[in-house]
Amino acid sequence: MTEILFSGAAREVTGSCHVVHVNGRTVLLDCGLHQGRRADVHRKNRTLPVDVHHIDAVVLSHAHIDHAGRLPLLVRAGYRGPIFATKATVDLCEIMLADSAHIQMKDAEYLSRRRQEHLAPLYDNDDVERTMSLMRGVRYDRPVDVSPGAVATFVDAGHILGSASIVLDCTEHGATRRLVFSGDIGRSGLPIIRDPSPPAGAHTVLMESTYGNRDHTSVLGAKDDLARVVKETAARGGKVLIPAFAVGRTQELVYDLHQLVDAGVIPRLPIIIDSPLASRATTVFAAHREVFDESEPMVRSHRDSSEGLFAFPLLRFTESIEESKALNHQGGPMVIIAASGMAESGRILHHLLNGISDARNTVLVVGFMAEHTLGRRIVERQSVVRVFGDEIPLKAQVAVIGGYSAHADRSELRSWIDAVRAQSPALGDVWLVHGETVSQEAFSETLRSDGYRVHCPEPGARAVV
């Protein structure tokens, strides 16, 4: 029988990693970084789920760091097997893991100075280069042998560019069982990328549950809310500060801002992407038109130049630190989009340090903020928040637009699993992962009431499927 060890993103939304033992071999589904309290994540990130010399293959759902961010650590520890992912995910990993290595090295340098002892980074650029040499780019809907007894098929998850749900056909003693790992499920109607495609024939499902207890604003409503926030903040002469993932969220915002500017719905004001990673990611997006949603009018209108989707006169991409710092001395109105998405690192911290005490400004939250992150404390509208060790009064407006989440909401998650069940007459257990306890409990009750056999595994739990 196939066994699953739930190592990461169990009762939490970061550190995605599930260990599958099949036919005497070991396959990892994702190997992501944990995010949150520094002391907790330091220990979690340095603890690998299994001896790397016993791992035969890694199958990666997508490039977000909470799913891919520990791959270089795996390689640093001696892993030399293949890492399977879609071609777009491979290209995104090249830039995202390099950026993560830079952060790891800077953090280690800072902590070494502070503690006056040498601390090694989690991994470095050499580890990233070795990781990339192990990557194997595959196409959607094409089965690939990942290890003896395990065949993976990547199905579009509609979450970010290149994201996939993984269909893992596990064969032992002549019998095949189909394990479906949802990865992060996207939303129908998101701009640029295609809608999720629920897999068929599942016996067991590992399913994300990030928003299992709530529904989002509609995708179209999100653009209306974005326009409102920009107009209101501009009228105050303020800045709209947006912590956003460099991959996916930033490109969606640029796409919508482009449309709003062209339609004259928002004032003509500077729109700054203050993230070298987002700049490079946008180039990767433009290079992978094969996964774009051709039903989108703006996608069709830029058939001859995908770069044109992400370029217009008011938009500027910064590169240097000097350019970034200069933005803090410029008055509004303007829009600044900067990583990281949960406001735990990156250039957005400098803009928050300088901007959240100004009541004219707005911090616009467009994605999920995990527990114990600065982003969550801002969403909670705590009166004082700590940025770079300084206590800063939060006087800026805080706006939350759930419609920009790349994660399916409660209704969309339900539609996805219902579609899987409709195509899977032998469906058995559903294991909820990638969700906080409150969300999982609510969603599991919803599913159980409709006849699903649902489990919410704790970290370290094992299941035979």
Cis before 143? omega within 30: no
Residue 110 has pLDDT above 70, yes or no: yes
| Rounded CA separation 303/301 (Å) | 6
Strands 204-208 and 429-433: parallel
| Rounded CA separation 198/430 (Å) | 14
Does pTM top 0.85 for this prediction? Answer: yes
Q: Strand, helix or coil at 281?
A: helix
pLDDT-derived band at 125, boundaries 50, 70, 90: very high
- The mean per-residue pLDDT over the stretch 404-420 comes to 94
| Rounded CA separation 311/163 (Å) | 24
Chain centroid to CA 376: how far?
16
Torsion of CA 403, 279, 389, 368, to 10 degrees: 20
Are 53 and 81 within 8 A, CB to CB?
no
What is the helix (H) or strand (E) element at residue 385, kind and residue range?
strand 384-387
Q: How many other C-beta atoms lie within 10 A of the C-beta of residue 9?
A: 26
- The mean per-residue pLDDT over the stretch 59-79 comes to 97
Closest CA to 340 of 247, 259, 451, 237: 247
**For the chain, which domains are there?**
3-214+406-464 (3.60.15.10), 219-404 (3.40.50.10890)
User: Which residue carries 């899977």 as its tokens?
Assistant: 424
pLDDT of residue 294: 85
Cα radius of gyration rounded to whole Å, the chain = 22
| Rounded CA separation 293/300 (Å) | 9
Beta bridge partners of 445: none
pLDDT-derived band at 346, boundaries 50, 70, 90: confident
User: Which residue carries 């400004």 as its tokens?
Assistant: 361
Q: Is 116 exposed, middle or buried (0-12, 13-18, 19+ CB in 10 A)?
A: exposed
Beta bridge partners of 336: 241, 272
How is the chain split among helix, strand and coil, in percent rounded to 5? Answer: 35, 25, 40
User: Which residue carries 């950026």 as its tokens?
Assistant: 99
pLDDT (tens digit, 9 = 90+) per residue, 194-249? 999 999 999 999 999 999 999 988 888 899 999 999 999 999 999 999 999 888 88
